[in-house]
Amino acid sequence: MNAIARRRGQRERNQLSIGQHGGPVAWFQRVSIPYLLLLPALLLVLLFQLYPTLSAGWYSLHNVLLAKLSQPRFVGLQNFRELLSGPFPNLINPIALVTINWVIGAVILQVGTGLGLAILLQQPWLKGRDFFRGLFLFPWVIAGIIVGYSWRFIFDPNAGLANALLREIGLPPVSWLNTSLLAMPCLLIASTWRAAGYSLVLEMGGLQSVPEEIYDAAALDGASGLSLVRYIIIPVIRPFLLVDLIVATVAALNAFDFVLTMTRGGPVYRTEVVGLFNYHQAFIYGKIGYGAAISVVIFIVSILLTLGYLFVFRRDEEAF
């Protein structure tokens, strides 16, 4: 009788377990449904991210002309050798130096301006915080081509606003975008005006996550001004700064639209950043394989800089 009762109890427990978990079919559905729901997004990533990346790698090893896309010829690393030591202009002379100046200036001005505005908008005496946040974010949603044409008109030597202001104070007009020393600063001004709003919103999110007790404790310790920013604010919002730096750096490396509409890379390649150089080589001169090699270099540099940011921030975090 005890054996029969035990078998009956085991059978009832098995039936209860099957009722609760639904058996193998229900288990498979429960496990597979989350992955099926992710499948459309995964397919989009494969279509618009992985496939173009692999295609760029394949094209970079071939001599492909825009007029003869169906006739690729394998050349190995020839495109990369030409990129580094080919005839002027190439990646080393002068594109690398121009791009380094551009990326450093654009990232520092964007992140610094965004952080400064975020700290300003967090002040308790400021009214209309949401209005100003939306106002500063507005340029970021405007297409880069529109931004470029707008600032090109502002810096126009004949009818531009910048020269109109100079005339009002009795100074002669300046050819802003055609002067070697002024073209890059003009680009940086336009870039900061456009992108600082993104950094502002991101840094405001970080500042709003800081408990008020930290500010109160800092005030009791006498921290204010730059010391408050350096020793309290920046260490606390480090994750937000990391994301901001990575996004700003990758965007600067790939910038070409508003640079194209503002200066077209001139004067004399002084604003020919690597993204614009890529566009010119691939779609103006029709050297698709050469342009793909430039894209591969941009991709590798972006990954290396991202890893560098992660390493530096992790090391500093351990130091704290």
Q: How far is CA 26 from the centre of its chain?
A: 43
Band of pLDDT at residue 16, cut at 50, 70 and 90: very low
State how far the Cα of 63 lies from the Cα of 96, in Å rounded to an integer.
23
pLDDT of 148 over the 90 cut: yes
Nearest Cα neighbor of 117 from 33, 199, 237 is 199
Question: Which two three-digit tokens encode residue 301?
Answer: 């540099």
- The single residue listed with the structure tokens 């400021």 is 126
Q: How much is the pLDDT for 251?
A: 95
pTM of the model: 0.84
Average pLDDT over residues 52-74: 90
In the chain, what are the domain boundaries? 2-60, 79-319
| Segment 109-131, tens digit of pLDDT | 999 999 999 988 888 788 888 88
Compare 222 and 192 and report the one with higher pLDDT: 192
- Which one is predicted more confidently, 132 or 188? 188
Kindly state the average pLDDT of the residues 308-312: 93
Which position has the higher pLDDT, 165 or 50? Answer: 165
- Residue 183: the pLDDT is 95
176-191 average pLDDT score? 94
For 122, the 3-state DSSP assignment is coil
Cα–Cα distance, 222 to 289 (Å, whole number)? 60
Tell me what pLDDT residue 82 has.
Answer: 92
- 79-319 architecture in CATH? Orthogonal Bundle (1.10)
Terminal-residue alpha carbon distance, the chain: 69
SS3 120: helix
Q: What value does the mean pLDDT take over residues 174-200?
A: 94
Please report which confidence band the pLDDT of residue 19 belongs to, taking 50, 70 and 90 as the band edges. Answer: very low
Higher pLDDT, 160 or 20: 160
Amino acid at residue number 237: I
Confidence of residue 27 (pLDDT cuts 50, 70, 90): low
Average pLDDT over residues 77-81: 94
Average pLDDT, the chain: 86
With a pLDDT cut of 90, the percent of the chain lying above it is 53
HEC string for 124-153:
CCCCCHHHHHHHHHHHHHCCHHHHHHHHHH
The enclosing H or E element of 65 equals strand 62-65
Spatial contact of 234 and 149, defined as CB atoms under 8 Å apart: no
35: confidence class by pLDDT, cuts 50, 70, 90: confident
Amino acid 169: pLDDT: 93
**pLDDT > 70? residue 254:** yes
Q: Using one digit for the tens of pLDDT, what is the confidence trace for 273-296?
A: 999 999 999 999 999 999 999 999
Which carries the bigger pLDDT value, residue 159 or residue 109?
Answer: 109
3-state secondary structure of 254: helix
Is residue 294 within 8 A of residue 84, CB to CB? The reply is no
Instruction: Average the pLDDT over 174-196 and give the result.
Output: 94
pLDDT above 50 for 20: no
Tell me the mean pLDDT in the region 124-144.
Answer: 87
pLDDT in tens, 1-12: 555 556 655 555
Q: Is 99 in contact with 259 (CB distance < 8 Å)?
A: no
Q: Is the pLDDT of residue 180 over 70?
A: yes
Helix and strand numbers (H, E) in the chain are 16, 2
